């Protein structure tokens, strides 16, 4: 029977406690949200919502085509200019998602004959980019600059090192300065996914590369998402103008994809404006993360010390993690639940978002619920 094998895989997932289901949320959910990636609390901010609405009223519901045909509006160009300036890079290119941006960056910067050195903890979008690229990929240990050095020494040609700047599972930061040093010793390029750094790290939320003094470097390319700290949707690649021009001509997820919807571009622009005006939001997100970690640890829970706005709490098993998250939800708290294969180390955990707009009372409530429902 066609697709009969799907039933076998579904049964295997059920036995392993790894079944995933969609759970639609209402617009007025009563849950305290520590599950989303809305780090700065901007997704529902009145100015961001109005930015989206005004863009839709002006440009329509969709961009109407690929960026190279009709999908590039003046709004897209303005967003690219302001993103590049804010993060300290020469140029930027906006994509319909952060996933598409990562696929574009990896595949276009790793042609046939090149070497990709990829961190073992990288996001799935970077991993898929490595699989699609024509270059050869060598995976090295998590956050291991010496492992990167050894891998680069095995290759005489063009090479690029690929890493998250902040890893999405535990919220730990990559040693980006040491990675850049390792790359420069071998003449390799460095590609950093700053999806979880933008808006949280660096001066006023300008990102991990900016904080490390790498913004604007000729050998550094950065990808970001507009769907986390900026409360919108979409992604972008930042870097030297010649790299961005290369992506325009070679990136398949740019050339053959419909452009980002104007509403998303308008929302991202409004969020950037807010972040410039209120740079303290970045520091507040980090402070909330530190407070969450301290309180969870004091309560006897195994929480990973955060470097940005993600706080991870270990669970004893996939089944326990699922039940723990469900019990939190029943008690009015939404938390993330990460299980294999989403976690490369095989350790299941709850994943909490330290939003800048969380009050002290909400932090206390979240810690109490997590502690009372622990398996």
Q: What is the pLDDT of residue 302?
A: 94
Cis bond before residue 341 (omega within 30° of 0): yes
Burial (CB < 10 A; 0-12, 13-18, 19+), residue 7, is exposed
Phi and psi of 352, rounded to 5°? -110, 145
Query: In this predicted model, what pLDDT tens digit does every residue of 236-276 receive, in sequence order?
Result: 999 999 999 999 999 999 999 999 999 999 999 999 999 99
Query: In this predicted model, what pLDDT tens digit does every residue of 128-174 receive, in sequence order?
Result: 999 999 999 999 999 999 999 999 999 999 999 999 999 998 999 99
Q: In terms of DSSP bridges, do strands 115-119 and 235-239 run parallel, antiparallel, or are they unpaired?
A: unpaired
pLDDT band for position 116 (50/70/90)?
A: very high
CA distance 261 to 227: 13
CA distance 309 to 348: 19
Q: Are 311 and 239 in contact (CB under 8 A)?
A: no
Q: What is the pLDDT of residue 214?
A: 98
pLDDT band for position 64 (50/70/90)?
A: very high
User: Domains of the chain, with CATH numbers?
Assistant: 29-44+279-372 (3.90.1150.10), 46-277 (3.40.640.10)
Q: What is the pLDDT of residue 37?
A: 96
Could you give the C-alpha distances from 308 to 200, 201, 353, in angstroms and in order? 6, 7, 10
Query: In this predicted model, what pLDDT tens digit does every residue of 86-107 receive, in sequence order?
Result: 999 999 999 999 999 999 999 9
Q: What is the pLDDT of residue 342?
A: 76
Q: For residue 234, which of 373, 67, 101, 89 has the smallest C-alpha distance?
A: 101
Q: What is the pLDDT of residue 2?
A: 92
For the chain, report the end-to-end CA distance as a whole number of angstroms: 41
Please report, rounded to a whole number, the percentage of residues in the chain having pLDDT higher than 70: 100
Q: What is the pLDDT of residue 157?
A: 94
Q: For residue 226, which of 76, 103, 357 has the smallest C-alpha distance?
A: 76
Phi and psi of 18, rounded to 5°? -120, 20
Please report the beta strands in the chain, taking only residues with DSSP state E, as ranges in sequence order.
32-34, 91-95, 115-119, 136-140, 159-164, 189-193, 220-225, 235-239, 303-304, 310-314, 333-338, 349-353
Residue 1 pLDDT greater than 90, yes or no: no
Query: In this predicted model, what pLDDT tens digit does every residue of 347-367 receive, in sequence order?
Result: 899 999 999 999 999 999 999
CA distance 299 to 291: 12
Q: What rounded mean pLDDT belongs to the chain? A: 96
Instruction: Return the residue matching tokens 């994943």.
Output: 351
Q: Are 142 and 121 in contact (CB under 8 A)?
A: yes
pTM of the model: 0.96
Specify which residues 59 forms β-bridges with.
none
Q: In terms of DSSP bridges, do strands 333-338 and 349-353 run parallel, antiparallel, or are they unpaired?
A: antiparallel
């Amino acid at each position: 029977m066609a697709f009969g094998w799907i039933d076998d895989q579904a049964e295997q997932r059920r036995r392993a406690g790894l079944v995933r289901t969609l759970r639609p949320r209402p617009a007025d959910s009563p849950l305290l949200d520590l599950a989303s990636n809305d780090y700065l609390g901007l997704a529902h901010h009145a100015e961001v919502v109005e930015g989206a609405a005004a863009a839709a009223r002006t440009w329509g519901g969709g961009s109407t085509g690929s960026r190279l045909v009709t999908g590039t509006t003046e709004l897209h160009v303005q967003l690219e200019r302001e993103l590049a300036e804010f993060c300290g890079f020469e140029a930027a290119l906006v994509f319909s998602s952060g996933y598409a941006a990562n696929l574009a960056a990896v595949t276009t910067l790793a042609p046939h004959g090149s070497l990709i050195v990829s961190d073992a903890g990288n996001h799935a979008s970077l991993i898929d980019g490595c699989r699609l690229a024509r270059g050869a990929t060598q995976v090295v240990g998590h956050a291991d600059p010496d492992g990167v050095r050894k891998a680069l020494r095995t290759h005489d040609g063009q090479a690029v090192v690929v890493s998250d700047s902040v890893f999405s599972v535990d919220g730990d930061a990559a040693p980006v300065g040491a990675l850049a040093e390792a790359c420069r010793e071998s003449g390799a390029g460095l590609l950093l996914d700053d999806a979880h750094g933008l808006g949280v790290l660096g001066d006023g939320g300008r990102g991990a590369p900016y904080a490390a003094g790498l913004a604007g470097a000729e050998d550094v390319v950065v990808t970001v998402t507009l769907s986390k700290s900026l409360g919108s949707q979409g992604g972008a690649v930042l870097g030297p103008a010649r790299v961005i021009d290369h992506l325009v001509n070679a990136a398949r997820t740019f050339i053959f994809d419909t452009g980002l919807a104007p509403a998303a571009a308008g929302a991202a622009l409004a969020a950037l404006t807010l972040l410039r005006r209120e740079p303290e939001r970045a520091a507040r997100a980090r402070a909330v993360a530190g407070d969450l970690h301290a309180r969870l640890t004091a309560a006897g829970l195994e929480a990973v010390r955060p470097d940005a706005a993600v706080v991870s709490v270990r669970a004893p098993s996939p089944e326990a993690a699922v039940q723990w998250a469900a019990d939190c939800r029943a008690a009015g708290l939404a938390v993330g639940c990460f299980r294999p294969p989403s976690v490369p180390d095989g350790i299941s955990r709850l994943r909490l978002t330290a939003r800048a707009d969380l009050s002290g009372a909400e932090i206390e409530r979240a810690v109490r619920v997590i502690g009372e429902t622990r398996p």
